[in-house]
Amino acid sequence: MPQISERGLQMPASPIRKLAPLSDAAKACGVKVYHLNIGQPDLPSPQVALDAIRNIDRTTLEYSPSDGFRFYRENLVKYYAKFDIHLLPEEIIVTAGGSEAVLYAFMACLNPGDEIIVPEPAYANYMAFAVSAGAVIKTIPTSIDTGFKLPEIEKFEELINPRTKGILICNPNNPTGYVYTAEEMEQIRLLVKKHNLYLFSDEVYREFIYSDAPYISACHLKEIEENVVLIDSVSKRYSE
Protein backbone atom coordinates (compact mmCIF):
# COMPACT_ATOMS: atom_id res chain seq x y z
CA MET A 1 0.00 0.00 0.00
CA PRO A 2 1.15 3.61 -0.50
CA GLN A 3 2.79 5.26 2.49
CA ILE A 4 0.85 7.90 4.36
CA SER A 5 2.04 11.49 4.42
CA GLU A 6 4.89 12.83 6.53
CA ARG A 7 2.27 14.79 8.43
CA GLY A 8 0.40 11.58 9.14
CA LEU A 9 3.56 9.85 10.32
CA GLN A 10 4.33 12.72 12.68
CA MET A 11 0.80 12.86 14.06
CA PRO A 12 0.78 11.64 17.67
CA ALA A 13 -1.96 9.26 18.72
CA SER A 14 -4.49 10.80 21.08
CA PRO A 15 -3.37 9.97 24.63
CA ILE A 16 -7.01 10.35 25.64
CA ARG A 17 -8.20 7.65 23.25
CA LYS A 18 -5.27 5.32 23.92
CA LEU A 19 -6.97 4.23 27.13
CA ALA A 20 -10.29 3.38 25.43
CA PRO A 21 -9.44 -0.28 24.57
CA LEU A 22 -8.21 -0.85 28.13
CA SER A 23 -11.36 0.61 29.67
CA ASP A 24 -13.54 -1.39 27.25
CA ALA A 25 -11.76 -4.59 28.25
CA ALA A 26 -12.20 -3.78 31.93
CA LYS A 27 -15.91 -3.09 31.45
CA ALA A 28 -16.29 -6.41 29.64
CA CYS A 29 -14.93 -8.07 32.78
CA GLY A 30 -17.48 -6.30 34.95
CA VAL A 31 -15.12 -3.68 36.33
CA LYS A 32 -16.56 -0.26 37.20
CA VAL A 33 -14.54 2.33 35.26
CA TYR A 34 -14.26 5.99 36.21
CA HIS A 35 -13.13 7.95 33.17
CA LEU A 36 -10.60 10.62 34.07
CA ASN A 37 -9.00 10.56 30.62
CA ILE A 38 -11.70 12.40 28.70
CA GLY A 39 -13.66 15.58 29.37
CA GLN A 40 -17.10 14.05 29.03
CA PRO A 41 -19.42 15.74 31.55
CA ASP A 42 -21.53 13.39 33.64
CA LEU A 43 -24.33 15.96 33.83
CA PRO A 44 -27.61 15.32 32.02
CA SER A 45 -28.07 17.21 28.76
CA PRO A 46 -30.64 20.04 29.00
CA GLN A 47 -34.17 18.76 28.55
CA VAL A 48 -35.00 21.65 26.21
CA ALA A 49 -32.22 20.51 23.86
CA LEU A 50 -33.36 16.88 23.93
CA ASP A 51 -36.97 17.92 23.32
CA ALA A 52 -35.95 20.09 20.38
CA ILE A 53 -34.24 17.11 18.75
CA ARG A 54 -37.16 14.77 19.36
CA ASN A 55 -39.77 17.25 18.15
CA ILE A 56 -37.99 18.67 15.12
CA ASP A 57 -40.54 19.62 12.46
CA ARG A 58 -38.47 20.05 9.33
CA THR A 59 -38.35 18.17 6.06
CA THR A 60 -34.89 19.33 5.04
CA LEU A 61 -31.71 19.81 7.05
CA GLU A 62 -29.84 22.24 4.83
CA TYR A 63 -26.21 23.24 4.94
CA SER A 64 -25.44 25.90 7.50
CA PRO A 65 -23.43 29.03 6.66
CA SER A 66 -19.69 28.46 6.94
CA ASP A 67 -19.47 30.77 9.97
CA GLY A 68 -22.61 29.36 11.63
CA PHE A 69 -26.23 30.52 11.67
CA ARG A 70 -26.46 34.21 12.44
CA PHE A 71 -29.25 33.79 15.00
CA TYR A 72 -26.99 31.42 16.94
CA ARG A 73 -24.04 33.79 16.80
CA GLU A 74 -26.28 36.65 17.94
CA ASN A 75 -27.30 34.59 20.97
CA LEU A 76 -23.67 33.78 21.67
CA VAL A 77 -23.04 37.52 21.77
CA LYS A 78 -25.63 37.75 24.57
CA TYR A 79 -24.04 34.83 26.41
CA TYR A 80 -20.56 36.34 26.36
CA ALA A 81 -21.91 39.72 27.47
CA LYS A 82 -22.80 38.06 30.80
CA PHE A 83 -19.05 37.68 31.36
CA ASP A 84 -18.26 41.23 30.24
CA ILE A 85 -16.98 39.92 26.90
CA HIS A 86 -18.32 42.18 24.18
CA LEU A 87 -18.28 40.74 20.68
CA LEU A 88 -20.06 41.17 17.36
CA PRO A 89 -21.67 38.25 15.50
CA GLU A 90 -19.14 38.84 12.73
CA GLU A 91 -16.32 38.12 15.19
CA ILE A 92 -17.62 34.62 15.96
CA ILE A 93 -17.10 31.48 13.87
CA VAL A 94 -19.01 28.33 14.83
CA THR A 95 -17.07 25.07 14.48
CA ALA A 96 -17.93 21.42 15.06
CA GLY A 97 -16.25 21.58 18.47
CA GLY A 98 -13.62 23.25 20.59
CA SER A 99 -10.85 20.99 19.28
CA GLU A 100 -11.73 21.94 15.72
CA ALA A 101 -11.65 25.60 16.77
CA VAL A 102 -8.06 25.16 18.00
CA LEU A 103 -7.08 23.38 14.78
CA TYR A 104 -8.68 26.00 12.51
CA ALA A 105 -7.14 28.82 14.53
CA PHE A 106 -3.70 27.27 14.10
CA MET A 107 -4.28 26.73 10.38
CA ALA A 108 -5.44 30.32 9.91
CA CYS A 109 -2.77 32.04 12.01
CA LEU A 110 0.37 29.91 11.80
CA ASN A 111 2.73 29.13 8.95
CA PRO A 112 4.71 25.88 8.74
CA GLY A 113 7.60 26.12 11.17
CA ASP A 114 5.99 28.78 13.36
CA GLU A 115 6.24 28.16 17.09
CA ILE A 116 3.76 28.62 19.91
CA ILE A 117 4.53 28.51 23.62
CA VAL A 118 2.29 26.47 25.93
CA PRO A 119 2.48 26.05 29.72
CA GLU A 120 2.15 22.38 30.65
CA PRO A 121 0.53 20.15 31.73
CA ALA A 122 -1.92 20.99 28.98
CA TYR A 123 -4.67 19.42 26.90
CA ALA A 124 -2.91 16.47 25.27
CA ASN A 125 -4.26 17.01 21.76
CA TYR A 126 -2.79 20.50 21.33
CA MET A 127 0.32 18.75 19.99
CA ALA A 128 -1.63 16.97 17.24
CA PHE A 129 -3.33 20.19 16.17
CA ALA A 130 0.05 21.90 15.90
CA VAL A 131 1.42 19.04 13.79
CA SER A 132 -1.61 19.32 11.50
CA ALA A 133 -0.83 23.00 10.97
CA GLY A 134 2.88 22.36 10.49
CA ALA A 135 3.61 24.35 13.63
CA VAL A 136 5.82 23.54 16.61
CA ILE A 137 4.79 23.64 20.27
CA LYS A 138 7.37 24.75 22.82
CA THR A 139 6.35 23.88 26.37
CA ILE A 140 7.12 25.47 29.71
CA PRO A 141 6.53 23.20 32.73
CA THR A 142 4.45 24.32 35.68
CA SER A 143 4.75 22.74 39.12
CA ILE A 144 2.34 21.30 41.65
CA ASP A 145 4.60 22.89 44.28
CA THR A 146 3.39 26.33 43.15
CA GLY A 147 -0.17 25.21 42.46
CA PHE A 148 0.50 25.19 38.70
CA LYS A 149 0.58 28.97 38.53
CA LEU A 150 1.93 30.74 35.44
CA PRO A 151 5.68 30.21 35.02
CA GLU A 152 7.92 33.22 35.44
CA ILE A 153 7.58 35.47 32.42
CA GLU A 154 11.34 35.21 31.89
CA LYS A 155 10.81 31.56 30.97
CA PHE A 156 8.63 32.70 28.07
CA GLU A 157 11.18 35.31 27.02
CA GLU A 158 13.88 32.62 26.85
CA LEU A 159 11.85 30.70 24.26
CA ILE A 160 10.81 33.64 22.09
CA ASN A 161 12.67 33.88 18.79
CA PRO A 162 11.88 35.02 15.23
CA ARG A 163 9.80 31.86 14.67
CA THR A 164 7.58 32.45 17.71
CA LYS A 165 4.07 33.39 16.60
CA GLY A 166 1.88 32.91 19.63
CA ILE A 167 1.12 31.79 23.16
CA LEU A 168 -1.56 29.25 24.02
CA ILE A 169 -3.18 29.19 27.45
CA CYS A 170 -6.08 27.23 28.88
CA ASN A 171 -8.01 29.20 31.51
CA PRO A 172 -9.32 27.62 33.69
CA ASN A 173 -6.65 25.07 32.97
CA ASN A 174 -7.21 21.54 31.74
CA PRO A 175 -6.05 19.35 33.44
CA THR A 176 -4.86 21.23 36.56
CA GLY A 177 -7.93 23.39 37.20
CA TYR A 178 -5.74 26.43 37.83
CA VAL A 179 -7.33 29.85 37.19
CA TYR A 180 -4.95 32.59 36.11
CA THR A 181 -4.88 35.66 38.33
CA ALA A 182 -5.29 39.26 37.17
CA GLU A 183 -1.56 39.79 37.66
CA GLU A 184 -0.69 36.74 35.56
CA MET A 185 -3.07 37.77 32.78
CA GLU A 186 -1.50 41.24 32.79
CA GLN A 187 1.94 39.67 32.42
CA ILE A 188 0.68 37.69 29.44
CA ARG A 189 -0.89 40.81 27.96
CA LEU A 190 2.35 42.77 28.16
CA LEU A 191 4.31 39.89 26.63
CA VAL A 192 1.86 39.51 23.75
CA LYS A 193 1.90 43.25 23.09
CA LYS A 194 5.69 43.52 23.33
CA HIS A 195 6.33 40.79 20.76
CA ASN A 196 3.10 41.20 18.71
CA LEU A 197 2.08 37.57 19.26
CA TYR A 198 -1.21 35.76 18.93
CA LEU A 199 -2.82 34.80 22.23
CA PHE A 200 -4.84 31.61 21.77
CA SER A 201 -7.01 31.32 24.87
CA ASP A 202 -8.89 28.06 25.48
CA GLU A 203 -11.68 29.00 27.89
CA VAL A 204 -14.08 26.07 27.56
CA TYR A 205 -14.09 25.53 31.35
CA ARG A 206 -15.03 29.09 32.37
CA GLU A 207 -18.14 27.85 34.21
CA PHE A 208 -16.20 25.18 36.12
CA ILE A 209 -14.56 27.33 38.77
CA TYR A 210 -14.98 26.03 42.32
CA SER A 211 -13.19 28.75 44.26
CA ASP A 212 -13.40 32.50 44.72
CA ALA A 213 -10.82 33.04 41.98
CA PRO A 214 -12.15 35.58 39.47
CA TYR A 215 -12.46 34.50 35.85
CA ILE A 216 -10.47 36.82 33.61
CA SER A 217 -10.86 36.23 29.90
CA ALA A 218 -8.22 37.06 27.34
CA CYS A 219 -10.95 39.20 25.81
CA HIS A 220 -10.81 41.43 28.89
CA LEU A 221 -7.21 42.41 28.13
CA LYS A 222 -6.81 45.88 26.67
CA GLU A 223 -4.73 46.91 23.65
CA ILE A 224 -4.33 43.34 22.32
CA GLU A 225 -7.88 42.82 21.06
CA GLU A 226 -6.61 42.06 17.55
CA ASN A 227 -4.17 39.46 18.90
CA VAL A 228 -6.66 37.34 20.85
CA VAL A 229 -8.29 34.16 19.54
CA LEU A 230 -10.86 32.86 22.04
CA ILE A 231 -11.59 29.11 21.97
CA ASP A 232 -14.88 27.85 23.42
CA SER A 233 -17.20 24.84 23.42
CA VAL A 234 -20.79 24.24 24.47
CA SER A 235 -20.23 20.53 25.15
CA LYS A 236 -18.61 21.12 28.53
CA ARG A 237 -21.41 23.31 29.86
CA TYR A 238 -24.37 21.46 28.39
CA SER A 239 -23.10 17.87 28.03
CA GLU A 240 -24.02 17.86 24.34
Mean pLDDT by 10 residues, the chain (240 residues): 87 77 92 81 84 88 92 97 98 96 98 98 93 96 96 97 98 95 98 98 94 95 98 83
pTM to 2 decimals?
Answer: 0.90
pLDDT of residue 8: 84
pLDDT of residue 240: 59
Give the type of residue at 29: C
Segment 147-151 long-range contacts (CB within 8 Å, at least 24 positions apart): 147/178, 148/121, 148/173, 148/176, 148/178, 149/178, 149/181, 149/184, 150/119, 150/180, 150/184, 150/187, 150/188, 151/119
pLDDT of residue 25: 93
In which element (H, E) is residue 198 found?
Answer: strand 198-202
Helices H / strands E in the chain, number of each: 10, 5
Segment 88-93 long-range contacts (CB within 8 Å, at least 24 positions apart): 92/67, 92/68, 93/67, 93/68
Q: How far apart are CA 27 and CA 31, in angstroms?
A: 5
pLDDT of residue 49: 86
pLDDT of residue 239: 67
pLDDT of residue 15: 72
Q: In what order do the strands lie in the sheet with 228-231?
A: 136-141, 115-120, 164-170, 198-202, 228-231
Q: Say if residues 218 and 169 touch (Cβ distance below 8 Å).
A: yes
Q: How far apart are CA 207 and CA 97, in angstroms?
A: 17
Give the side-chain half-sphere CA count within 13 A for 113.
3
| Fold of the CATH domain 47-238 | Aspartate Aminotransferase; domain 2 (3.40.640)
